[in-house]
Amino acid sequence: MNEKLSSKVLTLILALFYVSPLWAFGEFNMNSMPDLSTARFKLVCNEIAEGKAKEDDFNQGLCIGIILGVEDNANYDKKICVPQNIDIKGRAQVVSDYVATQPNRMSEAFASLVFDAMAKKWPCS
């Protein structure tokens, strides 16, 4: 490999570690699917709903990403219509409140409960 290419590869690797320190410390494995069960996200999303979100927490980012992804997809199909004045914390609160009422569903995919919670709270007319 020539020196110019080696330098670019090293720069890219260092940039990835800088952007995502979790990869560098082995907390996130690119070779396996993450656990997306409700049991895993219940506590993480509760922290967001309670205003205890940490700026650099990967799991909280994943929780928010799942909530917004479900919402975006369901909004496209006109199944969920969240009012524009509802922030991330409000969305997480609705999901957390719903999850708390579903103890028998903790092994299900978190996205399923997110959809049910938001469709129940904000159905499209």
Distances (CA, A) of 107 to 2, 42, 104, 110: 50, 11, 8, 8
Its domain, for residue 95, covers: 34-121
Query: Are residues 43 and 71 located together in one domain of the fold?
Result: yes
Query: Are residues 74 and 104 located together in one domain of the fold?
Result: yes
**Confidence grade of residue 55 (pLDDT, cut at 50, 70, 90):** low
Query: Are residues 116 and 65 located together in one domain of the fold?
Result: yes
Query: Of the candidates 28, 29, 122, which has an alpha carbon nearest to the alpha carbon of residue 67?
Result: 122
Global pTM value: 0.63
Radius of gyration of the chain (CA): 18
Residue 75 pLDDT greater than 60, yes or no: yes
Query: Are residues 72 and 20 located together in one domain of the fold?
Result: no
Mean pLDDT of the chain: 77
Residue 82 pLDDT greater than 70, yes or no: yes
* 11-46 per-position pLDDT tens digit: 545 444 444 444 433 455 545 556 768 887 888 888
